[in-house]
Chain A
Amino acid sequence: MKPGTRLKSAACDTEVMVIRCGTGTIECGGAAMAEAKPAEAAALSAEFSAGSLMGKRYVDAAGAYELLCVKPGKGSLSVDGTALTVKDAKPLPASD
Chain B
Amino acid sequence: MNIALLLEMAAEAGSDRIGLVCEGRRWSYAELLTAARGAAELIGASGASHVALLDESSEAAVIALFGAALAGVPYCPLNYRLADEDLAGLLERVAPALIVGDTGRVERLAPGQGHTTLARSDFVAAAQEAEVAPDREYDAGEGIAVQLFTSGTTAAPKAAILRHSNLLGYILGAVEFAAADEDDAALVVVPPYHIAGISALMSSIYAARRIVMLPSFTPEAWLALVEAEKVTNAFVVPTMLTRIIAVMEEGAAADVASLRAVAYGGGKMPLEVIQKALERFAHCGFTNAYGLTETSSTVALLGPDDHREALASDDPKVRARLTSLGQPLPTVEIEIRDEDGKVVGANEHGEIYVRGEQVSGEYKEKSALTADGWFPTRDAGYMDEDGYIFLSGRADDVIVRGGENMSPGEIEDVLLTHAAVADACACAIPSVEWGEVVGVALVLRDGHLEPAEDELRELVRARLRSSRVPAKIAFVSELPYNEMGKLLRREVKGILAD
B12 touches A54 (CB 8 A): yes
B13 at the interface (CB under 8 A from A): yes
Instruction: Give the interface SS of chain B, mostly helix, strand, loop or mixed.
Output: mixed
A22 at the interface (CB under 8 A from B): no
A91 touches B176 (CB 8 A): yes
Instruction: Please give 11 more A-B residue pairs, beta carbons under 8 A apart, in addition to A55-B13, A55-B176, A93-B285.
Output: A54-B12, A68-B172, A92-B174, A93-B261, A94-B186, A94-B203, A94-B233, A95-B287, A96-B289, A96-B297, A96-B298
B196 at the interface (CB under 8 A from A): yes
Known: A55-B177, A56-B177, A89-B173. A95 touches B265 (CB 8 A): yes
A19 at the interface (CB under 8 A from B): yes
List the B residue with the shortest CB-CB distance to A4: B1
Known: A4-B142, A57-B172, A70-B5. A96 touches B13 (CB 8 A): no
B235 touches A96 (CB 8 A): yes
Bound: A19/B165 CA distance, A: 10
Chain B contact-residue range equals: 35 or more
Please tell me which one of the listed residues A19, A54, A68 contacts residue B13 in the complex, with CB atoms under 8 A apart.
Answer: A54
User: Chain A residues near B178 (CB, 8 Å)?
Assistant: 54-55
Bound: A71/B289 CA distance, A: 32
A3 to chain B, nearest CB (A): 7
A19 touches B1 (CB 8 A): yes
Known: A94-B233, A95-B301. A54 touches B1 (CB 8 A): no
Bound: A38/B304 CA distance, A: 50
Name 9 interchain pairs, CB-CB below 8 A, sorted by A. A4-B1, A4-B141, A17-B1, A70-B8, A89-B176, A93-B263, A93-B303, A94-B261, A95-B235
Please tell me which one of the listed residues A3, A55, A90, A95 contacts residue B1 in the complex, with CB atoms under 8 A apart.
Answer: A3
Residues from 1 to 57 in B contacting A, C-beta threshold 8 Å: 1-2, 5, 8-9, 12-13
B329 at the interface (CB under 8 A from A): yes
Residues from 37 to 84 in A contacting B, C-beta threshold 8 Å: 54-57, 68, 70-71
A6 to chain B, nearest CB (A): 9
A96 to chain B, nearest CB (A): 4
Bound: A93/B178 CA distance, A: 15
A2 to chain B, nearest CB (A): 10
* 0/1 interface trace, chain A 15-41, chain B, CB 8 Å (1 if under): 001010000000000000000000000
Bound: A30/B289 CA distance, A: 43
Known: A54-B12, A55-B13. A96 touches B196 (CB 8 A): yes
* 0/1 interface trace, chain B 358-398, chain A, CB 8 Å (1 if under): 00000000000000000000000000000000000000000
User: Chain A residues near B242 (CB, 8 Å)?
Assistant: none
List the A residue with the shortest CB-CB distance to B141: A4
A95 touches B174 (CB 8 A): yes
Please tell me which one of the listed residues B5, B9, B207 contacts residue A94 in the complex, with CB atoms under 8 A apart.
Answer: B207
User: Chain B residues near A94 (CB, 8 Å)?
Assistant: 175, 186, 203, 207, 209, 233, 261, 263, 287
B472 to chain A, nearest CB (A): 39
User: Chain B residues near A57 (CB, 8 Å)?
Assistant: 172
A88 to chain B, nearest CB (A): 10
Chain A contact-residue range equals: 10 to 19
B140 at the interface (CB under 8 A from A): yes
Known: A17-B1, A19-B1, A55-B9. A95 touches B176 (CB 8 A): no
A50 to chain B, nearest CB (A): 19
B316 at the interface (CB under 8 A from A): no
A66 to chain B, nearest CB (A): 9
B258 at the interface (CB under 8 A from A): no
User: Chain B residues near A70 (CB, 8 Å)?
Assistant: 5, 8-9, 12
List the B residue with the shortest CB-CB distance to A55: B177
List the A residue with the shortest CB-CB distance to B326: A95
A95 touches B263 (CB 8 A): yes
A85 to chain B, nearest CB (A): 16
B336 to chain A, nearest CB (A): 21
B200 at the interface (CB under 8 A from A): yes
User: Chain A residues near B297 (CB, 8 Å)?
Assistant: 95-96
User: Chain B residues near A89 (CB, 8 Å)?
Assistant: 173-174, 176
List the A residue with the shortest CB-CB distance to B186: A94
List the A residue with the shortest CB-CB distance to B168: A19
Please tell me which one of the listed residues B140, B176, B207, B263 contacts residue A4 in the complex, with CB atoms under 8 A apart.
Answer: B140
B330 at the interface (CB under 8 A from A): yes
List the A residue with the shortest CB-CB distance to B177: A55
User: Chain B residues near A3 (CB, 8 Å)?
Assistant: 1
A93 touches B301 (CB 8 A): yes
* 0/1 interface trace, chain B 173-211, chain A, CB 8 Å (1 if under): 111111000000010000000001001100100010100
A92 touches B177 (CB 8 A): no
Bound: A9/B351 CA distance, A: 48
User: Chain A residues near B209 (CB, 8 Å)?
Assistant: 94
Bound: A71/B5 CA distance, A: 11
Bound: A95/B304 CA distance, A: 11
User: Chain B residues near A71 (CB, 8 Å)?
Assistant: 12
A14 to chain B, nearest CB (A): 13
